[in-house]
Copies of this chain bind each other. A is one copy, B any other.
Amino acid sequence: MTSVMQRSDAADRALRARAASVIPNGMYGHQSARMLPPEFPQFMVRGEGGRVWDADGNEYVDFMCSYGPIVLGHHHPKVDAAAAAQDQLGDCQNGPSPVMVELSELFVDTVGHADWTMMAKNGTDATTMCVTIARAATGKRKVLVARGAYHGAAPWCTPVKTGVTAEDRAHLVYFEWNDTESVRAAVEEHADDLAAIVVSPFKHDARVDQEMVDPVWARYLRQVCDDTGAARVLDDVRAGFRMAFGCSWDTIGVQPDLSAWGKAIANGHALGAVLGNDKFRDGASQVYVTGSFWFAAVPMAAAIATIHALRDEDALAAMERAGQRLRDGLAAQAASYGIGLRQTGPVTMPMVLFDDDPMFERANLWSGQAALRGAFLHPWHNWFTCAAHSDDDVDAALRATDGAFALVRARFGAD
């Protein structure tokens, strides 16, 4: 078993104490460490390639990649250089920079279904814009979504309904993932008022096994939208550029009308985007959406450099290689300890869950102990690989998980 190095958490604890008085709960949202085992740090200081450091100087192999945005690795030199060069000129100005046109053209060239783009900041901006554009284009209201899917944190979609009114979700209709009959029932019930069907490229809900899309079902969704005029919306915010160099359903040859992007498109710079086809251009032309920082040039220059690097450096293959090495290593370790482990979803976005672990006690022990040993691995949210993950990074993470598996075995026994 790997020994746990001498690690301090004094700086993190001091920061948490200060934060408790000036931030509700000390922190909020998806990066709140209250949702993680106590061994995880709350505050992070820096990153480099596939590694990150917390406020106490502890180093981690980073398989969360900032919950997705870091796709090429922290401080990718070409992205950093492009961002710095643009920043010397201007960022947030009285109008967009020429780089907005360049990026839009690059998106349209890169993503098969895209004839046009609109930029924003949050992934939630992008999914909300897709819904608004679909309603504008169709004149209809109902939006079909998979039950339990995450499409952002605005009142219409946030997973916690506190502070949200019933009317915020009045026109949402739920179906079950990969289930044709539940879609058919929803479509039939709302045939006269169908604006959009919104799905992620695969089922990547928190706390449950991930599930790839059934291509037959995906084609059925496409057909329903062709028949009814509703918008096929692909929420590619989380998966975008980690399944294909293009939109994620290029892998199965099914094109959406609108796609929502965010996270990885600028390697950590704040940028969301909606891509659409000509059928929905008029709808997109009619809505009013904007934001103080939406047209800032630095994230767009970073996105151009990111997309070029994704292509030129065969980044997806690098992410897949790292993910496969990690998956193989974890499977071998789990087997050697006699522990039942389920690894689901694309290897670039793995969900790793323990058998017989409804309260995540195994996952919490294991991920906390892995963190103490220098691997940042979430207990119930999918992970992310990046193109900077080397064999050494994967192997270092596996040394950490080996020690963690041993403790799970000691506490819970073999399955």
Query: In the assembled complex, which residues on chain B have CB atoms less than 8 Å from the CB atom of A44?
Result: 90, 93-97
CB < 8 Å neighbour of A132 from B24, B41, B155, B289: B155
In the complex, chain B residues whose CB is within 8 Å of the CB of A25: 285
| Oligomer: number of copies | 2
A167 at the interface (CB under 8 A from B): yes
Whether, in the assembled complex, A229 has its beta carbon less than 8 Å from a beta carbon of chain B, the answer is: no
Contact A45 B97 (CB under 8 A): yes
Scoring A64, A269, A286, A292 by chain B CB atoms within 10 A of each residue's CB, the highest score goes to A292
A108 contacts which chain B residues (CB < 8 A)?
A: 22
Question: Which residue of chain B has the shortest Cβ distance to A272 in the bound complex?
Answer: B292
Residue from B43, B91, B134 within 8 A of A95 (CB atoms): B43
Q: Is A135 an interface residue, CB under 8 A from the partner?
A: yes
A residues contacting the other copy or chain, number (CB 8 A): 108
Contact B292 A160 (CB under 8 A): no
Minimum distance in angstroms from A413 CB to a CB of chain B: 32
Say whether A393 faces chain B, with CB atoms less than 8 Å apart.
no
- Contact across chains for A52 and B293 when beta carbons are under 8 A apart: no
Complex interface: chain B residues within 8 A of A23 (CB): 100-101, 104, 116-118
Q: Are A55 and B98 in contact (CB under 8 A)?
A: yes
Contacting residues, chain B, for A325 (C-beta < 8 A): none
Residues in B with CB closer than 8 Å to A96 are: 27, 31, 42-44
Complex A-B: 25 CB contacts under 8 Å: A19-B100, A23-B116, A28-B118, A28-B288, A28-B290, A29-B294, A31-B94, A31-B96, A44-B96, A45-B90, A47-B90, A52-B94, A66-B292, A68-B292, A69-B292, A74-B90, A92-B269, A122-B122, A141-B165, A153-B291, A160-B287, A162-B288, A263-B292, A269-B293, A270-B296
Lowest 6 CB-CB distances: which A-B pairs, in order?
A29-B290, A160-B288, A136-B163, A270-B293, A132-B163, A44-B93
- Residues of A near any B CB (own CB < 8 A): 11, 15, 18-19, 21-25, 27-31, 33, 41-47, 52, 54-55, 62, 64, 66-70, 74, 80, 84, 87, 89-98, 100-101, 104-105, 107-108, 115-118, 121-125, 128, 131-136, 141, 153-156, 158-160, 162-165, 167-168, 170-171, 237, 262-263, 268-270, 276, 281, 283-296, 299, 376
